[in-house]
Amino acid sequence: MSDMTRQLSRDWSLPVLTVRNLTKYYKTTLAVDNVSLSVGDGEIVGLLGPNGAGKTTVLRSITGIIQPTAGEIEVDGMLLSKQERDVKRRLAFVPEVPNPYEMLTVMEHVRFIAMAYDTLSTFDAKCTELLRRFELYDKRNDLVLSLSKGMRQKLAIVCAFVHNARTILFDEPLIGIDPKGARELKDMVLEAKADGCSVLISTHMLDTAEHLCDRIIILSHGRMVAEGTLHELQERASMGSGASLEDAFLTLTEEHGAGETAPIP
Amino acid sequence: MKPLLYLELRQITNSVKAALRTPKRLIPAVLIALWIAFVFAQDTLTLLGIARPVMPSGRHYLQQAIPIDAIWAVVFIVLTITAAGVIYTALSDGLLIFAPSHVDFLFPTPVNRRHVLAFKLFKDYTKYALFSGLVFGMVGSPLYHVLGVPVYPDLLLSWLGSICLIVFVMNLTHTLNVVATAGPGRLRIARVLVQAAIFAAVLIVAATAVVRFAWTSDAIESVISSTRSSLVRAALAPITWATDVILAPIRGIVNERVELLWLAILAVGSTFLLLGRDEDIYEPALGVSARAARVRDAIRSGDVIGARIRAVGWRGRGSFNTPPVPPFGRGASALLWKSIVVKLRTSGARLLVVMCVPVIASVIIGAAVKLPEVRRVVPVAMPYVAWILALLGQQELRGELRLANLTKAMPISPFRFILVQTFHEWLPVVAVTMISAVSLFVFVADTDPAVLWLSAVTSIVFGFTCVAVISIPVLLYPDSRDKVQDLIAHILSFFLAGIALVPTAVVWLIAPLVDIDISVASLAVVLVNVPIAVAGVLVSGALFARFDPTSD
Q: Is the pLDDT of residue B248 over 50?
A: yes
Which of B15, B99, B92 lies closest to B293, judged by CA? B99
Q: pLDDT tens digit string along B224-242?
A: 778 888 888 888 889 999 9
What mean pLDDT is predicted for residues B390-413? Answer: 83
Determine the 3-state secondary structure of B367 from DSSP. Answer: helix
ipTM of the complex: 0.87
Banded model confidence at residue B4, pLDDT cuts 50, 70, 90: very high
pLDDT score recorded for residue A259: 46
Minimal Cα distance from A97: which residue of B? B104
How does DSSP classify residue A67? Answer: -
pLDDT score recorded for residue B50: 61
Closest Cβ–Cβ partner in A25, A91, A109 for B108:
A91
Q: In a mutagenesis test of the B interface, which of A115, A117, A140, A155 is the best target, namely the one with the most B β-carbons within 10 Å? A: A115
Asked whether the bond before B67 is cis by omega within 30 degrees of 0, the reply is: no
Q: Do B110 and A118 touch (CB under 8 A)?
A: yes
Banded model confidence at residue A265, pLDDT cuts 50, 70, 90: very low
Q: Do B105 and A84 touch (CB under 8 A)?
A: no
CB A248 within 8 Å of CB A259: no
Where b means 16+ CB within 10 Å and e means fewer, A163-194 reads bebbbbbbbbbbebbeeebbebbeebbbebbe
Q: Is the pLDDT of residue B454 over 80?
A: yes
Closest Cβ–Cβ partner in B14, B15, B103 for A65:
B103
d(CA A86, CA A93): 15
- Name the percent of chain B lying above pLDDT 90: 22
Banded model confidence at residue B188, pLDDT cuts 50, 70, 90: confident
Closest Cβ–Cβ partner in A25, A64, A66 for B286:
A66
End-to-end CA distance of chain A: 46
CB A167 within 8 Å of CB A75: yes
Closest Cβ–Cβ partner in B14, B104, B108 for A99:
B104
pLDDT score recorded for residue A2: 40
Closest Cβ–Cβ partner in A27, A93, A102 for B108:
A93
Determine the 3-state secondary structure of B508 from DSSP. Answer: helix
A28 interaction partners in chain B (CB closer than 8 Å): 184
Minimal Cα distance from A146: which residue of B? B18
**pLDDT averaged over chain B?**
82
Q: Is the pLDDT of residue A125 over 80?
A: yes
Q: Is the pLDDT of residue B149 over 70?
A: no
Measured CA to CA in angstroms, residue B470 lies from B389, B460, B477 at distances of 12, 16, 11
Minimal Cα distance from B92: which residue of A? A27
CB B273 within 8 Å of CB B117: no
Burial class (CB in 10 A: 0-12, 13-18, 19+), A245: buried
Minimal Cα distance from A86: which residue of B? B110
Q: Do A88 and B105 touch (CB under 8 A)?
A: no
pTM listed for this prediction: 0.78
B107 interaction partners in chain A (CB closer than 8 Å): 63-65
Q: Is the pLDDT of residue B108 over 60?
A: yes
A100 interaction partners in chain B (CB closer than 8 Å): 101, 104-105
**Half-sphere exposure of residue A101, counting CA atoms within 13 Å on the CB side?**
26
